[in-house]
Structure 1
């Protein structure tokens, strides 16, 4: 067993990360660290560019925007999102599919509202489209083509607008790209032109590895470019009507700077291009050192963010929640998916609410509202409310992760803090807008208690790098807001102790910032000192004794593999269920589903195992799981791949009568005449038989020239064999075959694991063993006899099949050098079983080949066992 990459020193308790794992660790940290670095650089650049502007000027500009300009921006936003529906409309037409415009519009609006606000458009919008379109009958391949069409249209339109604009409108000479603007414009224009022409010139499909792509005809390509260009033109129009009037150089000049800022924001990996887009816009319009120009531009950009990003995001969230409520009333087939998605929606809204409280605490309150408060509230109430509101903001950022993990404690605390935050928002500055947002979220969250069923500790919750980046990014933005809002205030140590209604904004913001940072650090410290289980050790006899009652009550005989003792056992807190697992490389692999009859305990174990893997930097893998439990793994975000089919014989209808059973009947009758007989002995009687069992086992291993398997199969281990009953086949006084039995108290299913026979034994001895065991199990009242899994059976190599299915079908048909896949399925098929699919649940991403190699290594006792039997 390979030692897990995170090791704890027994002497000091310190955690050591071996050098061989530093490269994968740095690779995982690279993306998030790049995002944080780019955000910090963008905010620093924004600070330098807008150092003459102040918070009052920005707020004043936003406050004095006319209703006509705001209405125009809103109408252009509606038109822009309307044009975005054409992406999906034309994408569906390109693959020969048609859906009602209302459904296509809803899917497109929701996907773009979230991807525009969050960033990572391909991942976010692709995921949302997959969730919706799969419900409307589209295959995975068709959805992938739709996503690629929409993404291609998005970029083709951006490149076309940017290229043409740079060719027609010269950039300001002080911009870095001004010298090369014509060359850059020509290059960017050539890309969409080449796309338009390529489909007419190159008729054959392009092939890249396993992908085949036919270039679109001229008409389809033209629609892509035009829709993309129109989308970007309307987005630019929204900001243009909000910009100050002194920037009267025309829409063309504005569009050139807008599209360049958008491209830089997109490639920066900062969510939504936050800070990067604003910094480029300020630089492009020459606002450096000009407070009279920088403040209006920042005000227009803030209004643009609200109108074009935030309002559509809120509308999309309301639509999803409304659709969920409608689905619950109508018992729609879509309702289970939406129900599963709601915790993530609530988590996202809670994250936004926490950011709103932090940003509010970092900025100035309105003077008129502060004047009203000074008449009705003591100063101490104001100060405490301001501090607690920011602390609650930080706690909501943390609790958002708990909501995504469906923690009951996170749900209760979030409700309490949302209502408390609403009260403190009113007490610190009559911020009724924030109070309304928090109250509405609390009202929406209140009836959803059943979605948050986990009773795990908040401190045991793991935070992915993405969540850590999001929390740090929000806090960094809050720091920048404090610096920007109070840049005119001279810092001194006495500032921390100044308390005033009208002149105490800066001290309050600083104290709130420190208070929220302290709350985050205390939670992080509490999480760091929580007890962790980082080692994978074989179970003790006490653990096996605790697991035995659960194994005997399990419906699946596969649970008995825990008795092998080669897999670690992870119990829930009340020992109502367990998972058995082992570690190979970075893969933490469980054998089968969680074992236990308590559904809540089994579900909690899946989450617990996931979090343990995340803390250790490992990949959670659930191997050979049944269709009845797939929702457990889909709920935690794992992908499912079929790995084969399990053969189960219905004993009530099994017999040797009939023409189809003639061969089996003749074999059993012949061997019975030769003196073969079956004996089933209890586990207590196995120990004296071990020497004779070993003779049979060693002879079988020598004859087959194979090594012992493990993990999903038993091995000849005396301690293991003495824990299960044994089926013996005697020929007179000579032991010729044996198999240990998996027998449960529920009598739902019987099975065998380790099967061995003498090489010189009678022909057909294994047929005899299986038939006699099935008849014996039927007489004992068992309902099923499990013949085990046929790996890779049931996978098909069709044109539209996923790559894994096609690869598995290839190995199943031509992999006899490594394993008798087809022969094993044919052998089991002659007992006329019912075949049931088995799956592996794995993390999404590109780690699948390594995970499959790790699983194969576990079963074969090392990578060499995968190649040599």
Structure 2
């Protein structure tokens, strides 16, 4: 099988597995609930004592407080200390959103990144905290569940083909071995290597504290469900084992919130004395209390923050808590994804309520044609509004302004349809409240664009299919007493609840079907991007002149295109090769406009049926690529010399110091030439460049490096090395606005002068700019260096290391790294950011051809 297909299968496997488990969970749940009357479930919910609801809410509050301590211990584990309010905010929002949306380590991790990065943590530190939380939660749930089975083996005995005594012995053995191993690793502070990954545990005091937090978390969450269960339920200690097992299986399924999977395990393991309908009512209430109530509170918190930003009143209140101001400033960034999730949820809700029997029919007179038409129209409108909200949720996630207006309209239409459908004042009020809650988020949707533009990824489609399957299962559950007949499709009367739901389901399915066909068959627009014009390059040069990144000047090589932000205060430089739009480095200009700019670049690339690629991006803006949903692959390291700390004195540079002194004695002289440069100088430098290229493989390179062009070189200072008055080497220098950050670009020398000449020039440049007070001098990037050499590394890492070690026929990668290491630089990673499921080898092929100019340019003239 081709490598690309294998890679696609690996990336799609979790989605396929999750969808399969979700479908199996719904199938099992449907059979468990087959004898249950939906009206009995609703009656049981209404009959739930207020005391039980209050106890469940109290247990939920205790559980979420305990969950916040996972963040606190995770920060301690990586040696970071943050304000308690920041930790509480990041922890609560991370769990409130992550528990409901699903794949908590990713969705909750994205929330934490926004908040914790605002107070100084980088993306790797936040990832470490998220990984610690995922490991602690998973290990805690597993150990508590297994240890509970050791005490109460009958909790899941009916599901396992073993005797209770066997389950008890095995569970006790696993618990004892696991606890002993964890305790030994914690006390000895030794790490455990599993397939190349090093596992390290916190010290005993922190581990004990984490154990207490885990017990409180599981105890509170399981109690919130247990207290809602009807009479006949198992004792609380036994139920903990049931809850832990069900939660763990739900988490492993990757289904959002474990919906369907969690319920199936709980109902299947409850005693026969618990009525299935009553258990279903308790589980539904638990979902509302433990998942949706915290999610609603978190949503309200973000909505209030949007009101604060609009009114300014809350800013005065936050002035009394300065430590929280940076974190609250980041909440605005949650708005698009959060509103998209809420809109998707409302869409699913509208689809489900269209499956319910209409109550208005009982109040309608026989032959009331107007009433029947309104009832039919209301049901169909509810289904269409629900599908519309699901479709438009993708546009909301991309901050499209028209998507926000469309969502408001769909919610209002759904409210009207609910009134027409069954006098459902509660549903109508619920949808109206949703529309009102979206109003404060207007400023978060500031990007023009079509509602359906952009990439609809596999996870989105899987979620939509899941909603469709759930709606179908709900329909069969609610209308299971009605025998199927073809006449159901054409029956119109005041009591035709099942036909009405069938037609609504058909309308919703048809809308989704035709939308899918539209996505698959819409014409490919390959509008070629506009080539860079002199006036456009001049605008970019103005921003380069104000930038602190010297690499921004590579925009002036003449082989790039430009995408500017709406205000013109930032730009991306890129080129097109094959099916890739390849941006070079980080965006240039106003950092506040980077996020909207990279989204716009990605959208335009996708609309042209191309891959958006960012080549050699630094670690300064990793959050941008995470927000965009791109994956990062290391492509090398940049060698940066810290000038204030650099000195030739001492033993480290003894050999280099001697070589430099020898060059000076041999008559070599270093000089800096400022622009403008004379035609005579340019001609002399061209002769050196031609001689240098004559001894190299391939043609003049471009894109990521400068090229010999008089107009380009006229923009920069040029360093030259002379011998006996004749220039033998030169290099142009890229400089930031302040002159504090510099980088060497084009380097050329006469082939007969190669030995030690570049070393002499670099040392001269370093000493020259150190004397002028500069802070950093970049020696350029060492391609493919610093990649992982472990056997479990990604295929790109393995391939890159192979080229790095044995690619001397094409480029002396390892020799270049060794040469630059002589200057003791800081090695700073550079990355390739590209869409998931896109092979980095394929993209790097486009990059290589772009730099070389052609396939012939890679190997010869």
TM-score when normalising by structure 1: 0.73
Q: Is the 8 A contact 2:698 2:859 kept in 1?
A: no
Q: Is the 8 A contact 1:459 1:526 kept in 2?
A: no
Shift in Å, 1:486: 0.8
Which residue number in structure 1 is paired with residue 648 of structure 2? none
CA–CA separation in structure 2 for the residues paired with 1:195 and 1:216? 16
Superposition map of 1:79-94 within 5 A: 79-91=62-74
Which residue number in structure 2 is paired with residue 124 of structure 1? 107
Which residue number in structure 1 is paired with residue 515 of structure 2? 523
- From 264, 267, 282, the equivalent of 1:282 is 267
- From 91, 94, 97, the equivalent of 1:111 is 94
Shift in Å, 1:314: 1.0
Q: Is the 8 A contact 2:155 2:241 kept in 1?
A: no
More displaced 10-residue stretch of structure 1: 294-303 or 147-156: 147-156
CA–CA separation in structure 2 for the residues paired with 1:728 and 1:142? 41
Cα–Cα, structure 1 residues 701 and 85, in superposed 2: closer, same or farther, change >3 Å? closer
- From 315, 318, 321, the equivalent of 2:300 is 318
User: For residues 205-239 of structure 1, what are the alpha-carbon distances to aligned partners after superposition, in whole Å with 9 as ceiling and x for unaligned?
Assistant: 21538865554455544443443234223322222
CA–CA separation in structure 1 for the residues paired with 2:261 and 2:629? 31
User: For residues 639-693 of structure 1, what are the alpha-carbon distances to aligned partners after superposition, in whole Å with 9 as ceiling and x for unaligned?
Assistant: 88895378999xxxxxxxxxxxxx99x99xx99999x99984799x99xx8xx98
Q: Does 1:455 align with 2:448?
A: yes
Q: Does 1:347 align with 2:340?
A: yes
CA–CA separation in structure 2 for the residues paired with 1:143 and 1:672? 50
Q: Is the 8 A contact 1:857 1:865 kept in 2?
A: no
CA–CA separation in structure 2 for the residues paired with 1:173 and 1:626? 49
* Secondary structure of residue in 2 paired with 1:261: helix
Superposition map of 1:772-791 within 5 A: 790-791=780-781
Which residue number in structure 2 is paired with residue 13 of structure 1? none
Q: Does 1:580 align with 2:574?
A: yes
Which residue number in structure 2 is paired with residue 232 of structure 1? 218
Q: Is the 8 A contact 2:699 2:857 kept in 1?
A: yes
Q: Is the 8 A contact 2:554 2:706 kept in 1?
A: yes
Cα–Cα, structure 1 residues 415 and 98, in superposed 2: closer, same or farther, change >3 Å? same
Cα–Cα, structure 1 residues 671 and 606, in superposed 2: closer, same or farther, change >3 Å? farther
Which residue number in structure 1 is paired with residue 500 of structure 2? 508
Which residue number in structure 1 is paired with residue 252 of structure 2? 267
Q: Is the 8 A contact 1:462 1:615 kept in 2?
A: no
* Secondary structure of residue in 1 paired with 2:524: coil
Which residue number in structure 2 is paired with residue 653 of structure 1? none
- From 383, 388, 398, the equivalent of 1:395 is 388
Which residue number in structure 2 is paired with residue 818 of structure 1? 814
Which residue number in structure 1 is paired with residue 833 of structure 2? 842
User: For residues 127-166 of structure 1, what are the alpha-carbon distances to aligned partners after superposition, in whole Å with 9 as ceiling and x for unaligned?
Assistant: 4334434445556666556445543443344234323332
CA–CA separation in structure 2 for the residues paired with 1:448 and 1:120? 25
User: For residues 92-126 of structure 1, what are the alpha-carbon distances to aligned partners after superposition, in whole Å with 9 as ceiling and x for unaligned?
Assistant: 56666666655544433322222322332333333
* Secondary structure of residue in 2 paired with 1:491: coil
CA–CA separation in structure 2 for the residues paired with 1:677 and 1:339? 47
Q: Unpaired runs of 5+ in structure 1?
A: 1-17, 650-662, 774-783, 798-802, 830-834
User: For residues 758-808 of structure 1, what are the alpha-carbon distances to aligned partners after superposition, in whole Å with 9 as ceiling and x for unaligned?
Assistant: 4468999999999xx9xxxxxxxxxx9x99762269x999xxxxx99xx99
Shift in Å, 1:388: 1.3
CA–CA separation in structure 2 for the residues paired with 1:26 and 1:170? 38
CA–CA separation in structure 1 for the residues paired with 2:719 and 2:230? 91
Cα–Cα, structure 1 residues 36 and 598, in superposed 2: closer, same or farther, change >3 Å? closer
Shift in Å, 1:485: 0.9
- From 575, 591, 614, the equivalent of 1:621 is 614
Which residue number in structure 1 is paired with residue 15 of structure 2? 32
Shift in Å, 1:713: 2.0
User: For residues 386-413 of structure 1, what are the alpha-carbon distances to aligned partners after superposition, in whole Å with 9 as ceiling and x for unaligned?
Assistant: 2112211111112111111111221221
Superposition map of 1:181-580 within 5 A: 181-198=164-181, 201-202=184-185, 203-208=188-193, 213-216=199-202, 218=204, 220-245=206-231, 247-285=232-270, 293-323=275-305, 325-326=307-308, 329=315, 330=318, 332-366=325-359, 378-501=371-494, 503-532=495-524, 555=544, 579-580=573-574
Q: Is the 8 A contact 2:402 2:450 kept in 1?
A: yes
Q: Is the 8 A contact 2:71 2:129 kept in 1?
A: yes
Which residue number in structure 2 is paired with residue 780 of structure 1? none
CA–CA separation in structure 2 for the residues paired with 1:544 and 1:197? 69
Cα–Cα, structure 1 residues 154 and 189, in superposed 2: closer, same or farther, change >3 Å? farther
Q: Is the 8 A contact 2:146 2:175 kept in 1?
A: no
More displaced 10-residue stretch of structure 1: 617-626 or 460-469: 617-626
User: For residues 157-208 of structure 1, what are the alpha-carbon distances to aligned partners after superposition, in whole Å with 9 as ceiling and x for unaligned?
Assistant: 4234323332333438982305255444444444454454346545142153
CA–CA separation in structure 2 for the residues paired with 1:750 and 1:79? 54
- From 689, 705, 708, the equivalent of 1:713 is 705
Cα–Cα, structure 1 residues 487 and 60, in superposed 2: closer, same or farther, change >3 Å? same
Cα–Cα, structure 1 residues 707 and 216, in superposed 2: closer, same or farther, change >3 Å? same
Shift in Å, 1:83: 3.3
Q: Unpaired runs of 5+ in structure 2?
A: 320-324, 644-659, 766-773, 788-792, 805-810
Cα–Cα, structure 1 residues 520 and 712, in superposed 2: closer, same or farther, change >3 Å? same
User: For residues 691-748 of structure 1, what are the alpha-carbon distances to aligned partners after superposition, in whole Å with 9 as ceiling and x for unaligned?
Assistant: x9886444213456787534312557xxx7799869999999999778899999xx9x
* Secondary structure of residue in 2 paired with 1:321: helix
CA–CA separation in structure 1 for the residues paired with 2:14 and 2:691? 55
CA–CA separation in structure 1 for the residues paired with 2:760 and 2:147? 80
User: For residues 404-443 of structure 1, what are the alpha-carbon distances to aligned partners after superposition, in whole Å with 9 as ceiling and x for unaligned?
Assistant: 1111221221222222222322332333443334333333
Cα–Cα, structure 1 residues 580 and 135, in superposed 2: closer, same or farther, change >3 Å? closer
* Secondary structure of residue in 2 paired with 1:179: coil
Which residue number in structure 2 is paired with residue 168 of structure 1? 151
More displaced 10-residue stretch of structure 1: 417-426 or 600-609: 600-609
Cα–Cα, structure 1 residues 180 and 319, in superposed 2: closer, same or farther, change >3 Å? farther
Q: Is the 8 A contact 2:346 2:386 kept in 1?
A: yes
Q: Is the 8 A contact 1:721 1:740 kept in 2?
A: no
Cα–Cα, structure 1 residues 638 and 488, in superposed 2: closer, same or farther, change >3 Å? same
Q: Is the 8 A contact 1:88 1:150 kept in 2?
A: yes
CA–CA separation in structure 1 for the residues paired with 2:719 and 2:478? 83
More displaced 10-residue stretch of structure 1: 81-90 or 392-401: 81-90
Cα–Cα, structure 1 residues 82 and 844, in superposed 2: closer, same or farther, change >3 Å? farther
User: For residues 837-860 of structure 1, what are the alpha-carbon distances to aligned partners after superposition, in whole Å with 9 as ceiling and x for unaligned?
Assistant: 996462699999869976985687
Cα–Cα, structure 1 residues 407 and 647, in superposed 2: closer, same or farther, change >3 Å? farther
Which residue number in structure 2 is paired with residue 644 of structure 1? 638
CA–CA separation in structure 1 for the residues paired with 2:434 and 2:497? 28
How many residue pairs get aligned? The number is 791
Shift in Å, 1:550: 5.2
Shift in Å, 1:476: 1.5
Cα–Cα, structure 1 residues 817 and 173, in superposed 2: closer, same or farther, change >3 Å? closer
CA–CA separation in structure 2 for the residues paired with 1:109 and 1:379? 47
CA–CA separation in structure 1 for the residues paired with 2:624 and 2:392? 22
Shift in Å, 1:479: 1.3
CA-atom RMSD, angstroms?
A: 5.8
Q: Is the 8 A contact 2:584 2:616 kept in 1?
A: yes
